[in-house]
Amino acid sequence: MDVPTTMSPAVFAAVLAAAALHAGWNAFLKVKLEPFLAMTLITGAGGVAGIPLLIAFGFPRLEAWPWLIASVVIHLGYYFALTEAYRRADMGQIYPIARGGAPLLTAAASIFVLREPIGLMAGLGIAVLGSGIMLIAFLGRRAQSKFDPVAIGFALLTAGIVCAYTLVDGIGARIAGDPHAYSAALFVIDGIPLVVVAIWLRGFSGLAPMREFLGRGFLGGAMSLAAYWIAIWAMTVAPIAIVAALRETSVLWATLIAVVFLKEPFVGARAVAAVLIVLGVVLIRLQ
């Protein structure tokens, strides 16, 4: 299995686009629908959207299946942790924490576990970018909002889970030899467990509130599929740690969505954090 050491401009641009898509589907979790049901709808819709792609690309080779199954299990934990965090606090606070710790953890794991080299400039960029994200998280929340340690705990748990599934999917897609087949299979399979759990916990009648949001749910599912599909492909042609860090520029888009569409207040610290995030991206690009 070859280990990529650089990132081309095309891959760089694609990952930044995926970041915007990722922030977009996360915003759907804050519509007037309980976060657990919103996540169930988006996950199920992503699975449906992946079916024609799975037909087109087929299943990945057998060696990738342990990683594929592990990813589905880890993602299930991710959905529960993230929705519980969103149930307790604003997107503007939770999203940066949930995403901000992940690139730093992933970079450390890539170096010490995968033995994947990261250049000095890229490492500095990851650190600066991560610092900007965490600044948004801890200083960019509502001044009048109550600090909820449980919500922060779930957000930090989510960050750890993001690191785990990023590494698993990066390795799995490389072993599969075809990131497109791996991604299609992942989304189709991943679209099943959460829906089954929701039916078990709530019954079919408990899913009725989702009907009003079917259109937006399928749009969110398609955005989720596209965003992570790009990321999985990128991890087969570029270092996992750099892809993971660039994905978290989605925090800039999430902040914009939170302020403009979700009417969460703008806090000055977010502007400073945005500068740090952009600086981090520039440093990564200059590697």
Q: Global pTM?
A: 0.83
Cα(162)–Cα(106) distance, rounded to whole angstroms?
Answer: 9
| pLDDT score, position 143 | 47
Per the model's pLDDT, the better-predicted residue between 229 and 144 turns out to be 229
Name the one residue in this structure whose structure tokens are 């960019």: 140
Can you say whether residue 177 is alpha, beta or left, with left for phi > 0 and alpha for psi between -120 and 50 degrees? left
Angle at 127 between CA 123 and CA 247, to 5 degrees: 85
Cα(170)–Cα(234) distance, rounded to whole angstroms?
Answer: 9
| Cα torsion through 194, 196, 202, 206, rounded to 10 | 90
Banded pLDDT at 65 (limits 50, 70, 90): very high
How many CB atoms are located within 10 Å of the residue 209 CB? 15
For the ranges 135-144, 175-184, 208-217, 275-284, the one whose mean pLDDT is highest: 175-184
Average pLDDT of the residues in 85-97? 75
Token pair belonging to 148: 């909820």
| Residue 147: DSSP 8-state | P
Chain-centroid distance of CA 220 in Å reads: 13
Residue 280 has pLDDT above 80, yes or no: no
**pLDDT tens-digit profile of 193-231?**
999 999 999 999 999 999 888 888 899 899 999 999 999
Share of the chain above pLDDT 90, in %: 34
Cα(165)–Cα(106) distance, rounded to whole angstroms?
Answer: 10
| Residue 264: DSSP 8-state | P
Specify the DSSP element, H or E, that contains 51: helix 35-57
Listing DSSP states for 192-229 in one string gives THHHHHHHHHHTGGGGGGGGGGHHHHHHHHHHHHHHHH
Average pLDDT of the residues in 33-55? 91
- 286 three-class SS: coil
3-state helix, strand, coil in the chain (%, to 5): 80, 0, 20
Banded pLDDT at 137 (limits 50, 70, 90): low
Residue 148 has pLDDT above 90, yes or no: no
| pLDDT score, position 180 | 95
Residues 6+ apart with CB under 8 A from 158: 78, 81, 82, 85, 97, 98
Cα(267)–Cα(96) distance, rounded to whole angstroms?
Answer: 14
Cα(208)–Cα(37) distance, rounded to whole angstroms?
Answer: 10
| Residue 60: DSSP 8-state | P
Banded pLDDT at 44 (limits 50, 70, 90): very high
Q: What single letter denotes the amino acid at residue 251?
A: V
Banded pLDDT at 129 (limits 50, 70, 90): confident
| Total residues belonging to the chain | 287
Chain-centroid distance of CA 271 in Å reads: 22
